[in-house]
A and B are shown apart, each in its own frame.
Chain A
Amino acid sequence: MTAATAPTEAAPAAEPYLTVNNIEVIYDHVILVLKGVSLDVPKGRIVALLGANGAGKTTTLKAISNLLRAERGDVTKGSVEFRGRRVDQLSPNELVRRGVIQVMEGRHCFAHLTLEENLLTGAYTRSISRGELKQSLEKVYHYFPRLKTRRGSQAGYTSGGEQQMCVIGRALMARPEMILLDEPSMGLAPQIVEEIFEIVKGLNGQENVSFLLAEQNTMMALRYADFGYILENGRVVMEGDAEGLRTNEDVKEFYLGISSAGRKSFKDIKHYRRRKRWLS
Protein backbone atom coordinates (compact mmCIF):
# COMPACT_ATOMS: atom_id res chain seq x y z
CA MET A 1 0.00 0.00 0.00
CA THR A 2 1.44 3.34 -0.98
CA ALA A 3 1.26 6.13 1.51
CA ALA A 4 0.60 8.65 -1.19
CA THR A 5 -3.07 8.30 -1.91
CA ALA A 6 -3.24 11.92 -2.96
CA PRO A 7 -4.05 13.99 0.11
CA THR A 8 -7.33 15.84 -0.07
CA GLU A 9 -6.59 19.08 -1.84
CA ALA A 10 -9.69 21.02 -0.86
CA ALA A 11 -9.56 19.81 2.73
CA PRO A 12 -8.48 21.78 5.83
CA ALA A 13 -6.35 24.69 4.94
CA ALA A 14 -5.94 25.96 8.50
CA GLU A 15 -5.71 24.13 11.84
CA PRO A 16 -7.85 21.03 12.37
CA TYR A 17 -11.32 21.68 13.76
CA LEU A 18 -13.45 18.58 13.99
CA THR A 19 -11.37 15.53 13.24
CA VAL A 20 -12.71 12.02 13.21
CA ASN A 21 -9.88 9.58 13.14
CA ASN A 22 -10.45 6.04 11.98
CA ILE A 23 -13.35 5.20 14.30
CA GLU A 24 -14.91 1.80 14.61
CA VAL A 25 -18.38 1.43 16.12
CA ILE A 26 -19.93 -1.73 17.47
CA TYR A 27 -23.53 -2.02 18.62
CA ASP A 28 -24.48 -4.45 21.37
CA HIS A 29 -20.91 -5.78 21.40
CA VAL A 30 -21.51 -7.74 18.19
CA ILE A 31 -22.73 -5.62 15.32
CA LEU A 32 -19.88 -3.87 13.54
CA VAL A 33 -21.30 -0.78 11.91
CA LEU A 34 -18.42 1.58 11.24
CA LYS A 35 -15.24 -0.03 10.03
CA GLY A 36 -12.81 2.82 10.29
CA VAL A 37 -14.25 6.17 9.29
CA SER A 38 -12.06 9.25 9.12
CA LEU A 39 -13.17 12.71 8.21
CA ASP A 40 -12.44 16.37 8.78
CA VAL A 41 -14.70 19.34 9.11
CA PRO A 42 -12.81 22.63 8.72
CA LYS A 43 -14.03 25.66 10.63
CA GLY A 44 -16.88 27.53 9.03
CA ARG A 45 -17.58 24.95 6.35
CA ILE A 46 -20.45 22.69 5.42
CA VAL A 47 -19.36 19.12 4.94
CA ALA A 48 -21.76 16.57 3.55
CA LEU A 49 -21.79 12.94 4.60
CA LEU A 50 -23.49 10.95 1.89
CA GLY A 51 -24.48 7.40 1.33
CA ALA A 52 -27.36 4.97 1.04
CA ASN A 53 -29.55 3.63 3.81
CA GLY A 54 -27.56 1.81 6.46
CA ALA A 55 -24.23 3.08 5.24
CA GLY A 56 -23.44 4.46 8.68
CA LYS A 57 -24.15 8.18 8.33
CA THR A 58 -26.28 8.47 11.43
CA THR A 59 -23.96 6.25 13.40
CA THR A 60 -21.02 8.47 12.48
CA LEU A 61 -22.86 11.55 13.71
CA LYS A 62 -23.93 9.84 16.90
CA ALA A 63 -20.41 8.62 17.50
CA ILE A 64 -19.26 12.23 17.36
CA SER A 65 -22.06 13.58 19.56
CA ASN A 66 -21.76 10.66 22.00
CA LEU A 67 -25.42 9.74 21.76
CA LEU A 68 -24.36 6.22 20.83
CA ARG A 69 -24.03 4.95 24.34
CA ALA A 70 -27.73 5.45 25.00
CA GLU A 71 -28.33 2.99 22.16
CA ARG A 72 -25.82 0.45 23.35
CA GLY A 73 -23.33 1.43 20.71
CA ASP A 74 -19.67 1.88 21.48
CA VAL A 75 -16.73 3.51 19.77
CA THR A 76 -14.15 0.74 20.03
CA LYS A 77 -11.31 2.24 18.04
CA GLY A 78 -10.14 5.58 16.84
CA SER A 79 -10.69 9.05 18.24
CA VAL A 80 -12.74 12.19 17.79
CA GLU A 81 -11.11 15.54 18.32
CA PHE A 82 -12.69 18.96 18.45
CA ARG A 83 -10.35 21.94 18.34
CA GLY A 84 -7.40 19.76 19.11
CA ARG A 85 -8.89 18.08 22.17
CA ARG A 86 -10.32 14.62 22.41
CA VAL A 87 -14.04 14.62 22.98
CA ASP A 88 -14.99 10.97 22.59
CA GLN A 89 -15.36 10.34 26.32
CA LEU A 90 -17.49 13.38 27.06
CA SER A 91 -21.19 13.21 27.86
CA PRO A 92 -23.53 14.85 25.34
CA ASN A 93 -24.11 17.58 27.91
CA GLU A 94 -20.41 18.47 28.10
CA LEU A 95 -20.09 18.31 24.34
CA VAL A 96 -22.97 20.74 23.86
CA ARG A 97 -21.27 23.08 26.31
CA ARG A 98 -18.17 22.93 24.13
CA GLY A 99 -20.18 23.88 21.10
CA VAL A 100 -21.00 20.66 19.26
CA ILE A 101 -24.66 19.74 19.04
CA GLN A 102 -26.56 17.15 17.06
CA VAL A 103 -29.89 17.62 15.36
CA MET A 104 -31.25 14.12 15.12
CA GLU A 105 -33.09 12.78 12.12
CA GLY A 106 -36.83 12.39 12.28
CA ARG A 107 -37.61 15.81 13.76
CA HIS A 108 -37.55 15.02 17.45
CA CYS A 109 -39.56 17.95 18.76
CA PHE A 110 -40.97 17.89 22.25
CA ALA A 111 -44.51 17.31 21.05
CA HIS A 112 -46.37 18.65 24.07
CA LEU A 113 -44.30 21.79 24.45
CA THR A 114 -45.05 24.85 22.39
CA LEU A 115 -42.62 25.82 19.66
CA GLU A 116 -41.29 28.61 21.82
CA GLU A 117 -40.83 26.30 24.80
CA ASN A 118 -39.01 23.89 22.51
CA LEU A 119 -36.62 26.62 21.58
CA LEU A 120 -36.15 27.65 25.20
CA THR A 121 -35.16 24.13 26.24
CA GLY A 122 -32.36 24.41 23.69
CA ALA A 123 -30.67 26.98 25.91
CA TYR A 124 -30.57 24.56 28.84
CA THR A 125 -26.80 24.31 28.91
CA ARG A 126 -26.31 28.07 28.93
CA SER A 127 -26.83 29.78 32.25
CA ILE A 128 -27.98 33.11 30.95
CA SER A 129 -30.22 35.94 32.01
CA ARG A 130 -33.75 36.45 30.81
CA GLY A 131 -32.64 39.27 28.55
CA GLU A 132 -30.00 37.19 26.82
CA LEU A 133 -32.48 34.37 26.45
CA LYS A 134 -34.89 36.72 24.75
CA GLN A 135 -32.13 37.93 22.47
CA SER A 136 -31.22 34.41 21.41
CA LEU A 137 -34.87 33.70 20.81
CA GLU A 138 -35.21 36.72 18.56
CA LYS A 139 -32.17 35.64 16.61
CA VAL A 140 -33.69 32.24 15.94
CA TYR A 141 -36.95 33.90 14.94
CA HIS A 142 -34.96 36.07 12.57
CA TYR A 143 -33.80 32.98 10.71
CA PHE A 144 -37.09 31.13 11.05
CA PRO A 145 -39.85 33.72 10.86
CA ARG A 146 -42.36 30.89 10.48
CA LEU A 147 -41.61 29.73 13.99
CA LYS A 148 -42.46 33.12 15.37
CA THR A 149 -45.92 33.17 13.88
CA ARG A 150 -46.63 29.77 15.36
CA ARG A 151 -44.71 30.17 18.61
CA GLY A 152 -47.67 29.30 20.83
CA SER A 153 -48.71 26.05 19.09
CA GLN A 154 -47.82 22.69 20.52
CA ALA A 155 -44.97 21.34 18.42
CA GLY A 156 -46.76 18.04 17.85
CA TYR A 157 -49.46 19.83 15.87
CA THR A 158 -47.17 21.76 13.55
CA SER A 159 -46.20 20.72 10.03
CA GLY A 160 -43.14 18.65 9.18
CA GLY A 161 -41.27 21.65 7.86
CA GLU A 162 -42.00 23.68 10.96
CA GLN A 163 -40.84 20.80 13.13
CA GLN A 164 -37.59 20.57 11.22
CA MET A 165 -37.11 24.31 11.67
CA CYS A 166 -37.98 23.91 15.32
CA VAL A 167 -35.26 21.32 15.97
CA ILE A 168 -32.63 23.31 14.10
CA GLY A 169 -33.69 26.47 15.92
CA ARG A 170 -33.61 24.61 19.22
CA ALA A 171 -30.03 23.54 18.55
CA LEU A 172 -29.13 27.14 17.70
CA MET A 173 -30.33 28.25 21.11
CA ALA A 174 -27.35 26.42 22.61
CA ARG A 175 -25.20 28.76 20.53
CA PRO A 176 -23.19 25.98 18.91
CA GLU A 177 -20.10 26.32 16.81
CA MET A 178 -20.79 23.13 15.02
CA ILE A 179 -24.05 21.40 14.20
CA LEU A 180 -24.28 17.74 13.27
CA LEU A 181 -27.36 17.81 11.10
CA ASP A 182 -28.92 14.46 10.34
CA GLU A 183 -31.12 14.08 7.30
CA PRO A 184 -32.97 17.41 7.37
CA SER A 185 -34.74 16.64 4.10
CA MET A 186 -36.40 13.45 5.30
CA GLY A 187 -40.07 13.31 4.41
CA LEU A 188 -40.35 16.97 3.46
CA ALA A 189 -41.63 18.59 0.29
CA PRO A 190 -38.83 19.68 -2.07
CA GLN A 191 -39.70 23.34 -1.64
CA ILE A 192 -39.42 23.14 2.14
CA VAL A 193 -36.15 21.25 1.80
CA GLU A 194 -34.83 24.05 -0.35
CA GLU A 195 -35.95 26.60 2.23
CA ILE A 196 -34.22 24.73 5.03
CA PHE A 197 -31.00 24.33 3.11
CA GLU A 198 -31.03 28.04 2.35
CA ILE A 199 -31.32 28.77 6.06
CA VAL A 200 -28.48 26.36 6.81
CA LYS A 201 -26.36 28.15 4.26
CA GLY A 202 -27.30 31.48 5.83
CA LEU A 203 -26.40 30.30 9.33
CA ASN A 204 -23.12 29.03 8.00
CA GLY A 205 -22.29 32.32 6.35
CA GLN A 206 -23.58 34.79 8.92
CA GLU A 207 -23.26 33.00 12.25
CA ASN A 208 -20.16 31.10 11.26
CA VAL A 209 -21.64 27.77 12.32
CA SER A 210 -19.93 24.76 10.79
CA PHE A 211 -22.10 21.88 9.64
CA LEU A 212 -21.60 18.19 9.23
CA LEU A 213 -24.59 17.21 7.21
CA ALA A 214 -25.74 13.63 6.72
CA GLU A 215 -27.98 13.34 3.69
CA GLN A 216 -29.48 10.84 1.31
CA ASN A 217 -30.48 13.61 -1.00
CA THR A 218 -27.04 13.64 -2.58
CA MET A 219 -27.42 16.31 -5.22
CA MET A 220 -29.21 18.72 -2.93
CA ALA A 221 -26.58 18.32 -0.24
CA LEU A 222 -23.72 18.77 -2.68
CA ARG A 223 -25.22 21.99 -3.96
CA TYR A 224 -24.90 23.55 -0.52
CA ALA A 225 -21.86 21.78 0.91
CA ASP A 226 -18.22 22.68 0.43
CA PHE A 227 -16.90 19.18 0.74
CA GLY A 228 -18.34 15.68 0.71
CA TYR A 229 -17.63 12.18 1.95
CA ILE A 230 -19.41 9.14 0.61
CA LEU A 231 -19.97 6.24 2.95
CA GLU A 232 -20.73 2.71 2.03
CA ASN A 233 -21.01 -0.22 4.41
CA GLY A 234 -19.39 1.69 7.23
CA ARG A 235 -16.44 2.94 5.22
CA VAL A 236 -15.57 6.13 3.41
CA VAL A 237 -15.31 5.12 -0.22
CA MET A 238 -14.93 8.50 -1.78
CA GLU A 239 -14.28 12.08 -0.81
CA GLY A 240 -13.73 15.36 -2.54
CA ASP A 241 -14.93 18.91 -2.86
CA ALA A 242 -18.61 19.26 -3.59
CA GLU A 243 -18.17 20.53 -7.09
CA GLY A 244 -15.95 17.59 -8.01
CA LEU A 245 -18.32 15.03 -6.50
CA ARG A 246 -21.30 16.55 -8.20
CA THR A 247 -19.80 16.19 -11.63
CA ASN A 248 -18.15 12.88 -10.89
CA GLU A 249 -19.38 10.21 -13.30
CA ASP A 250 -19.37 7.49 -10.64
CA VAL A 251 -21.41 9.50 -8.17
CA LYS A 252 -23.88 10.27 -10.89
CA GLU A 253 -24.12 6.64 -11.73
CA PHE A 254 -24.29 5.20 -8.24
CA TYR A 255 -26.50 7.71 -6.55
CA LEU A 256 -28.61 9.08 -9.30
CA GLY A 257 -28.73 6.18 -11.70
CA ILE A 258 -27.58 8.46 -14.49
CA SER A 259 -24.63 7.47 -16.61
CA SER A 260 -23.24 8.60 -19.88
CA ALA A 261 -25.41 5.91 -21.40
CA GLY A 262 -28.57 7.49 -19.97
CA ARG A 263 -30.67 6.17 -17.09
CA LYS A 264 -29.96 2.62 -16.01
CA SER A 265 -32.03 0.03 -14.29
CA PHE A 266 -31.35 -0.14 -10.57
CA LYS A 267 -30.38 -3.78 -10.75
CA ASP A 268 -27.42 -3.00 -12.95
CA ILE A 269 -25.92 -0.59 -10.48
CA LYS A 270 -22.78 -1.99 -9.00
CA HIS A 271 -21.44 -1.16 -5.61
CA TYR A 272 -18.60 1.22 -5.36
CA ARG A 273 -15.42 -0.10 -3.83
CA ARG A 274 -12.59 1.48 -5.67
CA ARG A 275 -10.70 3.75 -3.42
CA LYS A 276 -10.43 2.13 -0.05
CA ARG A 277 -8.82 4.39 2.45
CA TRP A 278 -8.97 2.49 5.73
CA LEU A 279 -5.95 0.69 7.01
CA SER A 280 -6.37 -3.02 6.68
Chain B
Amino acid sequence: MQFFLEVLIGGLLSGVMYALVALGFVLIYKASGVFNFAQGAMVYLAALSVVGCMEKGAPLWLAILLAFVIMTLFGIATEKFVLRKLVNQPPIALFMATIGLAFFIEGLAPMLFGSEPRALDLGIVDEPIPAILDAWGIVISKFDLVAAGVAALLVTTLALFFQYTRIGRALRAVADDHQAALSIGIPLQHIWAIVWGIAGFVALVAGLMWGARNGVQFALTFTALKALPVLIIGGFTSVPGAIVGGLIIGASEKLAEIYLPPVMQSLFGGNFGGIEGWFPYVLALFFLLIRPEGLFGEKHIDRV
Protein backbone atom coordinates (compact mmCIF):
# COMPACT_ATOMS: atom_id res chain seq x y z
CA MET B 1 0.00 0.00 0.00
CA GLN B 2 2.78 2.36 0.93
CA PHE B 3 4.56 1.58 -2.27
CA PHE B 4 1.39 2.10 -4.26
CA LEU B 5 0.89 5.51 -2.66
CA GLU B 6 4.44 6.45 -3.39
CA VAL B 7 4.10 5.54 -7.03
CA LEU B 8 0.77 7.33 -7.26
CA ILE B 9 1.99 10.53 -5.67
CA GLY B 10 5.21 10.48 -7.64
CA GLY B 11 3.11 10.06 -10.78
CA LEU B 12 0.74 12.87 -9.91
CA LEU B 13 3.63 15.20 -9.23
CA SER B 14 5.36 14.38 -12.50
CA GLY B 15 2.00 14.92 -14.17
CA VAL B 16 2.04 18.47 -12.90
CA MET B 17 5.24 18.98 -14.84
CA TYR B 18 3.48 17.90 -18.02
CA ALA B 19 0.61 20.19 -17.20
CA LEU B 20 2.99 23.14 -17.06
CA VAL B 21 3.92 22.58 -20.68
CA ALA B 22 0.35 21.82 -21.72
CA LEU B 23 -0.80 25.14 -20.28
CA GLY B 24 1.17 27.06 -22.87
CA PHE B 25 -0.63 25.19 -25.64
CA VAL B 26 -4.01 25.83 -24.08
CA LEU B 27 -3.36 29.57 -23.88
CA ILE B 28 -2.55 29.96 -27.54
CA TYR B 29 -5.29 27.60 -28.59
CA LYS B 30 -7.85 29.52 -26.57
CA ALA B 31 -6.90 32.86 -28.04
CA SER B 32 -6.29 32.01 -31.66
CA GLY B 33 -7.74 28.56 -32.16
CA VAL B 34 -4.43 27.22 -33.30
CA PHE B 35 -2.19 24.43 -32.07
CA ASN B 36 1.11 26.11 -31.32
CA PHE B 37 3.69 23.68 -32.56
CA ALA B 38 6.44 25.99 -31.30
CA GLN B 39 5.53 25.69 -27.62
CA GLY B 40 8.21 23.06 -26.94
CA ALA B 41 10.79 25.21 -28.67
CA MET B 42 9.68 28.16 -26.55
CA VAL B 43 10.29 26.13 -23.40
CA TYR B 44 13.78 25.41 -24.71
CA LEU B 45 14.41 29.05 -25.57
CA ALA B 46 13.23 30.20 -22.14
CA ALA B 47 15.39 27.71 -20.22
CA LEU B 48 18.37 28.45 -22.43
CA SER B 49 17.97 32.20 -21.90
CA VAL B 50 18.09 31.67 -18.15
CA VAL B 51 21.27 29.58 -18.15
CA GLY B 52 22.76 31.78 -20.86
CA CYS B 53 22.27 34.91 -18.78
CA MET B 54 23.62 33.16 -15.70
CA GLU B 55 26.75 32.15 -17.58
CA LYS B 56 27.31 35.78 -18.43
CA GLY B 57 27.37 36.48 -14.72
CA ALA B 58 23.80 37.43 -13.88
CA PRO B 59 22.37 36.12 -10.60
CA LEU B 60 19.43 33.75 -10.84
CA TRP B 61 16.69 36.31 -10.23
CA LEU B 62 18.12 38.69 -12.83
CA ALA B 63 18.52 35.85 -15.32
CA ILE B 64 14.89 34.91 -14.86
CA LEU B 65 13.85 38.51 -15.30
CA LEU B 66 15.94 38.83 -18.46
CA ALA B 67 14.51 35.59 -19.80
CA PHE B 68 11.05 36.96 -19.13
CA VAL B 69 11.89 40.09 -21.11
CA ILE B 70 13.24 37.95 -23.94
CA MET B 71 10.09 35.81 -24.02
CA THR B 72 7.85 38.86 -24.00
CA LEU B 73 9.76 40.48 -26.84
CA PHE B 74 9.59 37.21 -28.66
CA GLY B 75 5.82 37.15 -28.20
CA ILE B 76 5.43 40.66 -29.55
CA ALA B 77 7.71 39.93 -32.49
CA THR B 78 5.74 36.79 -33.31
CA GLU B 79 2.57 38.81 -33.47
CA LYS B 80 4.13 41.55 -35.56
CA PHE B 81 5.99 39.46 -38.10
CA VAL B 82 3.98 36.27 -38.30
CA LEU B 83 0.42 36.46 -37.01
CA ARG B 84 -0.51 39.93 -38.21
CA LYS B 85 -0.08 38.81 -41.79
CA LEU B 86 -2.35 35.85 -41.21
CA VAL B 87 -5.54 37.45 -39.91
CA ASN B 88 -8.58 35.73 -41.35
CA GLN B 89 -6.56 32.91 -42.83
CA PRO B 90 -7.64 29.33 -42.12
CA PRO B 91 -6.26 27.83 -38.89
CA ILE B 92 -4.12 25.41 -40.85
CA ALA B 93 -2.10 28.34 -42.23
CA LEU B 94 -1.47 29.57 -38.70
CA PHE B 95 -0.57 26.06 -37.62
CA MET B 96 2.03 25.76 -40.36
CA ALA B 97 3.40 29.14 -39.40
CA THR B 98 3.99 27.81 -35.88
CA ILE B 99 5.89 24.83 -37.29
CA GLY B 100 8.14 27.28 -39.07
CA LEU B 101 8.46 29.25 -35.88
CA ALA B 102 9.53 26.10 -34.01
CA PHE B 103 12.39 25.48 -36.44
CA PHE B 104 13.34 29.12 -36.28
CA ILE B 105 13.64 29.06 -32.48
CA GLU B 106 15.44 25.74 -32.44
CA GLY B 107 18.06 27.34 -34.65
CA LEU B 108 18.12 30.74 -32.99
CA ALA B 109 18.33 29.70 -29.33
CA PRO B 110 21.62 27.71 -29.57
CA MET B 111 23.08 30.49 -31.73
CA LEU B 112 22.49 32.98 -28.95
CA PHE B 113 23.37 30.89 -25.93
CA GLY B 114 25.29 27.83 -27.14
CA SER B 115 23.96 24.34 -27.61
CA GLU B 116 25.81 22.19 -25.06
CA PRO B 117 23.64 20.69 -22.29
CA ARG B 118 23.91 22.54 -19.00
CA ALA B 119 22.60 22.18 -15.50
CA LEU B 120 20.22 24.71 -14.04
CA ASP B 121 20.24 25.11 -10.28
CA LEU B 122 17.21 26.82 -8.81
CA GLY B 123 18.32 26.22 -5.28
CA ILE B 124 15.54 23.72 -4.62
CA VAL B 125 16.88 20.28 -3.80
CA ASP B 126 15.45 17.20 -5.44
CA GLU B 127 15.40 14.96 -2.40
CA PRO B 128 12.79 13.36 -0.12
CA ILE B 129 11.16 15.50 2.53
CA PRO B 130 12.33 14.00 5.85
CA ALA B 131 9.14 14.74 7.77
CA ILE B 132 6.94 12.82 5.33
CA LEU B 133 9.51 10.05 5.03
CA ASP B 134 9.55 9.61 8.80
CA ALA B 135 5.81 9.83 9.36
CA TRP B 136 4.50 7.67 6.49
CA GLY B 137 7.60 6.19 4.96
CA ILE B 138 6.77 7.69 1.56
CA VAL B 139 9.39 9.34 -0.61
CA ILE B 140 8.16 12.68 -1.91
CA SER B 141 10.63 15.01 -3.55
CA LYS B 142 10.70 18.55 -2.30
CA PHE B 143 11.35 19.75 -5.81
CA ASP B 144 8.25 18.02 -7.14
CA LEU B 145 6.17 19.56 -4.42
CA VAL B 146 7.43 23.03 -5.24
CA ALA B 147 6.72 22.43 -8.92
CA ALA B 148 3.19 21.33 -8.05
CA GLY B 149 2.67 24.45 -5.99
CA VAL B 150 3.89 26.69 -8.80
CA ALA B 151 1.67 24.92 -11.31
CA ALA B 152 -1.37 25.17 -9.06
CA LEU B 153 -0.80 28.89 -8.60
CA LEU B 154 -0.32 29.41 -12.33
CA VAL B 155 -3.43 27.47 -13.24
CA THR B 156 -5.62 29.26 -10.73
CA THR B 157 -4.42 32.66 -11.84
CA LEU B 158 -4.90 31.90 -15.50
CA ALA B 159 -8.30 30.33 -15.05
CA LEU B 160 -9.53 33.37 -13.12
CA PHE B 161 -7.94 35.68 -15.66
CA PHE B 162 -9.73 34.03 -18.57
CA GLN B 163 -13.06 33.81 -16.82
CA TYR B 164 -13.44 37.17 -15.19
CA THR B 165 -11.27 39.88 -16.69
CA ARG B 166 -11.95 42.13 -19.64
CA ILE B 167 -8.83 40.99 -21.47
CA GLY B 168 -9.56 37.36 -20.65
CA ARG B 169 -13.03 37.60 -22.14
CA ALA B 170 -11.63 39.35 -25.17
CA LEU B 171 -9.12 36.52 -25.61
CA ARG B 172 -11.89 33.95 -25.65
CA ALA B 173 -13.94 36.11 -27.98
CA VAL B 174 -11.05 36.33 -30.45
CA ALA B 175 -10.68 32.56 -30.38
CA ASP B 176 -14.34 32.15 -31.29
CA ASP B 177 -14.54 34.64 -34.12
CA HIS B 178 -11.70 36.91 -35.28
CA GLN B 179 -13.88 39.04 -37.46
CA ALA B 180 -16.65 39.63 -34.99
CA ALA B 181 -14.04 40.53 -32.39
CA LEU B 182 -12.54 43.01 -34.81
CA SER B 183 -15.95 44.48 -35.56
CA ILE B 184 -16.65 45.38 -31.94
CA GLY B 185 -13.31 47.10 -31.62
CA ILE B 186 -11.13 44.44 -30.01
CA PRO B 187 -7.65 45.10 -31.39
CA LEU B 188 -6.40 41.69 -32.50
CA GLN B 189 -2.79 42.84 -32.50
CA HIS B 190 -2.78 43.69 -28.80
CA ILE B 191 -4.65 40.56 -27.88
CA TRP B 192 -2.27 38.31 -29.74
CA ALA B 193 0.79 40.07 -28.40
CA ILE B 194 -0.60 39.65 -24.88
CA VAL B 195 -1.40 35.99 -25.29
CA TRP B 196 1.98 35.14 -26.82
CA GLY B 197 3.59 37.08 -24.03
CA ILE B 198 1.73 35.03 -21.44
CA ALA B 199 2.49 31.81 -23.30
CA GLY B 200 6.14 32.87 -23.23
CA PHE B 201 5.89 33.35 -19.47
CA VAL B 202 4.34 29.92 -19.01
CA ALA B 203 7.08 28.47 -21.21
CA LEU B 204 9.59 30.16 -18.93
CA VAL B 205 8.11 28.54 -15.83
CA ALA B 206 8.01 25.17 -17.55
CA GLY B 207 11.56 25.69 -18.81
CA LEU B 208 12.80 26.47 -15.32
CA MET B 209 11.21 23.39 -13.82
CA TRP B 210 12.13 20.99 -16.60
CA GLY B 211 15.58 22.51 -17.00
CA ALA B 212 16.32 22.13 -13.31
CA ARG B 213 15.10 18.55 -13.39
CA ASN B 214 16.64 17.20 -16.60
CA GLY B 215 19.25 19.79 -17.50
CA VAL B 216 18.92 22.45 -20.15
CA GLN B 217 19.34 20.72 -23.48
CA PHE B 218 17.75 20.35 -26.87
CA ALA B 219 15.58 17.48 -25.58
CA LEU B 220 13.48 20.10 -23.80
CA THR B 221 11.72 20.75 -27.10
CA PHE B 222 10.31 17.24 -26.88
CA THR B 223 8.44 18.01 -23.68
CA ALA B 224 5.84 19.27 -26.10
CA LEU B 225 5.22 15.70 -27.21
CA LYS B 226 4.42 14.67 -23.65
CA ALA B 227 1.98 17.55 -23.45
CA LEU B 228 -0.01 16.24 -26.40
CA PRO B 229 -1.82 13.37 -24.61
CA VAL B 230 -2.38 15.72 -21.68
CA LEU B 231 -4.16 18.13 -24.02
CA ILE B 232 -6.21 15.44 -25.65
CA ILE B 233 -7.43 14.18 -22.30
CA GLY B 234 -7.93 17.53 -20.62
CA GLY B 235 -9.24 19.37 -23.65
CA PHE B 236 -7.41 21.92 -25.79
CA THR B 237 -9.39 24.86 -24.51
CA SER B 238 -9.46 24.34 -20.78
CA VAL B 239 -6.91 25.70 -18.33
CA PRO B 240 -8.07 23.42 -15.50
CA GLY B 241 -8.24 20.63 -18.08
CA ALA B 242 -4.51 20.93 -18.60
CA ILE B 243 -3.82 20.24 -14.96
CA VAL B 244 -6.35 17.41 -14.65
CA GLY B 245 -5.05 15.86 -17.86
CA GLY B 246 -1.52 16.18 -16.56
CA LEU B 247 -2.42 14.45 -13.32
CA ILE B 248 -4.19 11.61 -15.12
CA ILE B 249 -1.29 11.07 -17.49
CA GLY B 250 1.35 11.31 -14.77
CA ALA B 251 -0.37 8.94 -12.38
CA SER B 252 -1.50 6.42 -14.95
CA GLU B 253 1.83 6.12 -16.72
CA LYS B 254 3.73 5.54 -13.48
CA LEU B 255 1.19 3.03 -12.22
CA ALA B 256 1.15 1.27 -15.58
CA GLU B 257 4.92 1.11 -15.58
CA ILE B 258 4.94 -0.65 -12.21
CA TYR B 259 1.82 -2.81 -12.29
CA LEU B 260 1.19 -3.63 -15.93
CA PRO B 261 4.31 -5.64 -16.89
CA PRO B 262 3.53 -8.64 -14.63
CA VAL B 263 -0.01 -8.82 -15.99
CA MET B 264 1.16 -8.55 -19.59
CA GLN B 265 3.87 -11.10 -18.97
CA SER B 266 1.46 -13.68 -17.63
CA LEU B 267 -0.87 -13.05 -20.58
CA PHE B 268 1.58 -12.91 -23.45
CA GLY B 269 4.91 -13.95 -22.03
CA GLY B 270 8.04 -12.02 -22.90
CA ASN B 271 9.38 -8.88 -21.38
CA PHE B 272 7.43 -5.66 -20.99
CA GLY B 273 9.54 -2.70 -20.00
CA GLY B 274 9.19 0.98 -20.86
CA ILE B 275 5.44 1.03 -20.76
CA GLU B 276 5.72 4.55 -19.41
CA GLY B 277 6.91 5.65 -22.82
CA TRP B 278 3.86 4.74 -24.83
CA PHE B 279 1.08 4.37 -22.31
CA PRO B 280 -0.04 8.05 -22.38
CA TYR B 281 -0.48 7.94 -26.14
CA VAL B 282 -2.63 4.85 -26.01
CA LEU B 283 -4.71 6.46 -23.33
CA ALA B 284 -5.05 9.57 -25.49
CA LEU B 285 -6.10 7.46 -28.45
CA PHE B 286 -8.75 5.86 -26.32
CA PHE B 287 -10.02 9.28 -25.29
CA LEU B 288 -10.14 10.43 -28.88
CA LEU B 289 -12.51 7.59 -29.58
CA ILE B 290 -14.93 8.21 -26.74
CA ARG B 291 -14.61 11.93 -26.00
CA PRO B 292 -12.74 13.78 -28.73
CA GLU B 293 -13.08 17.23 -27.15
CA GLY B 294 -11.42 16.01 -23.94
CA LEU B 295 -12.77 16.10 -20.41
CA PHE B 296 -13.17 19.86 -20.17
CA GLY B 297 -12.81 20.99 -23.77
CA GLU B 298 -15.39 23.05 -25.58
CA LYS B 299 -17.77 21.11 -27.69
CA HIS B 300 -17.93 22.23 -31.26
CA ILE B 301 -21.24 24.00 -31.68
CA ASP B 302 -23.03 23.50 -34.94
CA ARG B 303 -26.43 24.78 -35.84
CA VAL B 304 -28.61 22.51 -37.88
Contact = CB atoms under 8 A, between A and B. Distances in A.
A93 B185 contact: yes
B184 A171 contact: yes
A104 interface: yes
A178 interface: no
A110 interface: yes
B270 to A, nearest CB: 47
Contacts of B170: 121, 124
B173 A110 contact: yes
Contacts of A123: 166
Given A70-B88, A112-B298, A154-B301, A103 B173 contact: no
B180 A124 contact: no
Interface string A163-178: 0000100110010000
B241 to A, nearest CB: 14
A71 interface: yes
Contacts of B127: none
A92 interface: yes
B180 A110 contact: yes
A109 interface: yes
A193 B177 CA distance: 24
B169 A108 contact: no
A171 B185 CA distance: 10
Contacts of A102: 183
B186 A93 contact: yes
B59 interface: no
Nearest to A163: B303
Q: Which of B87, B88, B173 has the most CB of A within 10 A?
A: B173
A125 B185 contact: yes
A267 B138 CA distance: 86
Interface in B158-176: 166, 169-170, 172-173, 175-176
B185 A110 contact: no
A256 interface: no
A120 B163 CA distance: 12
A245 interface: no
B115 interface: no
A170 B184 contact: yes
A103 B169 contact: no
Given A110-B172, A117-B169, A92 B301 contact: no
* SS class, residues of chain B in contact with chain A: helix
Contact of A121 (B186, B187, B301, B303): B186
Interface size class of B (residues with CB under 8 A): 20 to 34
A70 B176 contact: no
A104 B237 CA distance: 26
A156 interface: yes
A93 B301 contact: no
Contacts of B301: 111-112, 154, 156-157
B177 to A, nearest CB: 5
A212 B172 CA distance: 29
A247 to B, nearest CB: 35
A4 B157 CA distance: 67
A47 B175 CA distance: 33
Contacts of B219: none
Q: Which of A96, A112, A113, A154 has the most CB of B within 10 A?
A: A112
A112 B176 contact: yes
B96 interface: no
B214 interface: no
A111 B176 contact: yes
Contacts of B186: 93, 121, 124-125
B184 A67 contact: no
B183 A92 contact: yes
B88 A71 contact: yes
Contacts of A112: 172, 175-176, 237, 298, 301
A82 to B, nearest CB: 14
A122 interface: yes
A95 B185 CA distance: 8
A170 B187 CA distance: 16
A70 B182 contact: yes
Nearest to A182: B183
A224 B170 CA distance: 34
A70 B180 contact: no
A137 B29 CA distance: 29
A151 interface: no
Contacts of A156: 301, 303
A67 B179 contact: yes
A122 B298 contact: no
23 contacts: A92-B182, A101-B184, A101-B185, A102-B183, A109-B177, A110-B172, A110-B176, A111-B176, A111-B177, A111-B301, A112-B175, A112-B237, A113-B172, A117-B169, A118-B173, A120-B166, A121-B169, A121-B173, A124-B170, A124-B184, A124-B186, A167-B180, A174-B185
Interface of A: 65, 67, 70-71, 91-93, 95-97, 101-104, 108-113, 117-118, 120-125, 154, 156-157, 160, 167, 170-171, 174
Given A70-B87, A110-B177, A124-B186, 14 more contacts: A71-B88, A92-B183, A97-B185, A102-B183, A104-B183, A108-B177, A112-B172, A112-B175, A112-B237, A112-B301, A113-B172, A124-B184, A125-B185, A154-B301
Interchain residue pairs A-B with the least CB separation, the first 9: A96-B185, A156-B301, A108-B180, A110-B176, A125-B185, A93-B187, A121-B173, A110-B173, A93-B185
